[in-house]
Chains A and B, each alone.
Chain A
Amino acid sequence: MSQSSTRTPARASKPSASARFDSALGWSPRFGTNMALRIVLCVLVFCVFALPFLAVISGAFDRNSSPTEISLLPKTFTLQNFEAAAQQGLWGYLLNSLVVAGGGLLLQMTVSVFAAYSLSRKKFRGQALVMLLVLMTMMLPEEVIGIPLSLVLGDLPLLGIGLRGTVLAVILPVGIWGFSIFIMSEFMKEIPGEIEEAARLDGVGEFRMLFTIILPLCKPALGVIGIFGFMMVWDQYLLPLIAANDPSDYTLTVALSVLRNDTTVGPGVLLAGAVMAMIPSLLVYLFLQRSMIRGITSGATKG
C-alpha cells in the first residue's frame, strides 16, 4: 500500500500508450467504459469492506440503535450510548485493555530485541537449538495450551505465586512471541559486522552496543514488530478470559461478548463498546501502516 514514486521515463513521456501495461488487468487511465466499470467495482468493494464499520459507528451515536434500524447516518444523534456504556463499566474494560496492550507490547518488544541480539549478532554453542525453541513457541499459541496455561497462571510452578486476576496474567504470557523474535533477528543479521567491530574497538559494552549502535539501525523492524505485536495483544480473547478472576478483570474485547448476552443491555451500548475497541487499533494502524505492509510482504517472500 506504500505509494511508489518511481516512474519510468517511457511512461512519463507518453502516459496513455503504456499505462495500459501498468496493471495486470490493463486498466485504462482515460475516462471511458473501462474506467467507469472500475469505479463501479471499487464502490462495490468499498461498500462490502468499509460500510459495516460506518454502520457500527453510526449506530453507536444513534438514539434508537437496534440492529434492524441500522443506517449509515445516525437518525437522532446522541451520546447516551456512551453514557450507558460508562454505567456498564466499559471505560474500565477499555483501561484494562490499554494497560494490557501497552505493558504487553513493551515487554514483548524488549524481550524480542534482547533475544534477537544474542541470536543474530553472536555465535555460541546451542544457538540452533535456542532458535528452534523460539520457532516452537510459535506453534504454541494461547489457544492450544489454554487449559494447562490457566492452571499455571493460577499457581506458578516453583514460585508458588498466583497471577490470575492481575494484569500480569495477560502481560507476561504475551511477552514471549516467536514471530517477533524471528523478524527482529532476521533483520539484525543484515547489519554489517564492520559497524559493530569499529564500535567494539572504541570499548563499547554490550548494552551500549545494542541501544546506540544496533537498535537505531533497526527502526523498520521495530515498526513491524510494533504493529504486529499490538495487533497480537489486542486480538487476545481466550487469554484474558482464562486469566480473569472475576468479570471486572476482563478486557474490552472479552467484555463485549458478555454484554451482548446480558438482556438488560441494549444494542446501542454494545455498538458503543465496539467503537471503543476499534479506535486504538485504527490509530495504531494509521500511524504504522507502512510497517504493517512491510511486515506482510517480507513474510510473504520469506515464508
Chain B
Amino acid sequence: MTVTPTKPAETLAPAKGAKTTPARGKRTNRKQLLAIWLFLVPAAVLGLYFKFIPMVEGIRLSLFKVQPFLGDVFVGFDNYIRVLTDARFMEALGHTVVLGLTQTLGALVVGFVLALLLEGQSRSLWVLRTAIFLPVVTALAVVGEIWRILYFPTADGPLNNILSWVGLGPLQFLNGTDTALWSIAVVGIWSGAPYNMVIILAGLTGVDRSLYESAGVDGATIWQRLRYITLPALRPSIVIVLTLAAIRSLRSFTEVYVLTGGGPAGSTEVWMTRMYSLGFQRNDIGVASAAAVLLLVVTLLLTVGTQLLARRKALR
C-alpha cells in the first residue's frame, strides 16, 4: 500500500494538532468522550436494570432454595439436578423440540408455496399479499383467541363444520391429548408462514430471469426449474433465518399459554409453561430459575454456534 487513503490521514490530523496545543486537543477529546457515553447512558441504565440485573439475579436464585420468610438457603446445583431429573420437564423438552421443529419447517414450506403462488407485480397479487400478512401483524394473544374460537371442539364448531364437508369427523383440537400439540403447531405455522413468504419473495426477485428463459429453451420442466435454479438461489438467505427461528422457538410461550396453558393433561406443556407454573403458581422460584438459566445457556450456545458457522461459510 503506497497510496495513502484519505480517511486515516484525516483522523490523524487532530492528533497532530493535539501535540502542538495539548490543552485544546484534550478538551475536545474529553468532550467527545463525554458525548459518546452520554448518548449511551439511557440504553445502559435500562439494560442494566431490566436485562442484566435480572439475569444475574436469576443465576443467583438458581443456586438457592428460595423461601420468602425463612431466608434463602444455598443449595449449589441441586435445583439444576431437580430440573434435569424432573419427568415433566423432560416431557416438556420433548414437546418444545417437536413444536419448534414442526412450526419452523411447516412455516417454511407453507411460506415457500405462498411465495411461489403470489410472485408477481400485478396490483391484485399485491393486495392479496397484504391481506395474507395480517396474521403476522396481529398480536399473538389475539391470534390465540381467534383460533380458540375456530377450534371450538363441538361438532358444529367453525373448523369442525368445514371438516365435515370433506367427510372428516369432528376433532377435539385443543381439548384432545392427541391433537392439542398439532393444533398449536398449525397456529404457529399460520402466523409464521406469511413472514417467511416475504423473505422468500425477496429472494425470488433476485433470481436471474434469463436462467428461467434458457431453462425453458432447454425444455426443462417446472419441477426441474424449481429444483436446479430457484432453490439454490434461495438457500443462503433462508438457512440462517430458519435456524435462528428454530432456536427462538425453544422459548415460545405466549401461544401455548393462551391456547392451552399446557393442558390437557400436560400434553402441550413446553419448557416455558412448565417453568412458569413452577415459578409463579407454585412459588418454587429456585427450580424455575434453574430452568430459565438452562434455557438461556442452550439458546446462547446455539445462536453463537450458528453465527460462527455462518461467518465461516461467508469467509470461504
A-side interface residues toward B, CB under 8 Å?
1, 3-4, 8, 18, 20-27, 38, 41-42, 45-46, 48-50, 52-53, 55-56, 59, 67-68, 70, 110-112, 114-115, 117-119, 122, 124, 130, 133-134, 136-137, 139-141, 143-152, 156-157, 172-173, 175-176, 181, 193, 197, 206, 210, 231, 234-235, 237-238, 242, 253-254, 256-257, 260, 267, 270-271, 273-274, 277-278, 281-282, 284-285, 289, 292-293, 296-297, 299-301, 303
Contact = CB atoms under 8 A, between A and B. Distances in A.
Contact of A124 (B36, B118, B131, B149): B36
B209 A67 contact: no
Interface stretch (B18-26, B79-87, B91-99, B194-202): B194-202
Contacts of A253: 139, 141-142
B212 A26 contact: yes
A68 B146 contact: no
Nearest to A124: B36
Given A4-B205, A41-B117, A296-B198, A52 B146 contact: yes
Given A146-B279, A237-B141, A50 B132 contact: yes
A133 B43 CA distance: 11
Contacts of A242: 280
Given A24-B116, A52-B150, A147-B289, A137 B47 contact: yes
Interface residues of B, number: 104
Contacts of B157: 67-68
A38 B118 CA distance: 9
B178 interface: no
A122 B29 CA distance: 12
Given A68-B154, A147-B292, A176-B50, A193 B203 contact: no
B12 interface: no
Contacts of B195: 296
Contact of A68 (B40, B123, B152, B280): B152
B175 interface: no
B241 A270 contact: no
Interface of B: 7, 10, 32-33, 35-37, 39-40, 42-43, 46-47, 49-55, 57-58, 61, 114, 116-121, 123, 126, 128-135, 137-142, 144-150, 152, 154, 156-158, 190, 194-195, 198-199, 201-205, 207, 209, 212-213, 216, 222, 225-226, 229-230, 237-238, 240-241, 244, 251, 253-254, 257-258, 272, 275-276, 279-280, 285, 288-289, 292, 295-296, 299-300, 303, 307, 310
Contact of B43 (A114, A260, A278, A285): A114
Contact of B57 (A8, A52, A151, A297): A151
A178 to B, nearest CB: 9
Nearest to A231: B137
Given A115-B40, A118-B39, A300-B241, A22 B158 contact: no
Contact of A147 (B58, B120, B241): B58
A281 B129 contact: no
Contacts of A210: 39
Contact of B146 (A23, A46, A53, A139): A53
A94 to B, nearest CB: 12
Contacts of B57: 148, 151-152
A210 B39 CA distance: 10
Nearest to B158: A70
Contact of A130 (B40, B138, B280): B40
Nearest to B31: A206
Nearest to A7: B121
Contacts of B35: 118, 122, 206
Contacts of B58: 145, 147-148
A151 to B, nearest CB: 7
A13 to B, nearest CB: 15
Interface of B is mostly: helix
A63 B228 CA distance: 55
Given A3-B121, A45-B128, A274 B145 contact: yes
A285 B132 contact: no
21 contacts: A22-B119, A24-B116, A25-B119, A26-B222, A41-B117, A52-B146, A68-B156, A114-B40, A114-B42, A118-B40, A122-B35, A145-B51, A147-B285, A149-B50, A151-B57, A237-B139, A242-B280, A256-B142, A281-B137, A300-B237, A303-B310
A115 B288 CA distance: 33
A50 B126 contact: no
Given A3-B126, A50-B134, A52-B150, A143 B55 contact: no
B294 to A, nearest CB: 10
B61 A147 contact: yes
Contacts of A175: 42, 46, 50
Given A68-B154, A277-B142, A296-B198, A176 B216 contact: no
Contact of A24 (B119, B144, B285): B119
B130 A1 contact: yes
B28 to A, nearest CB: 10
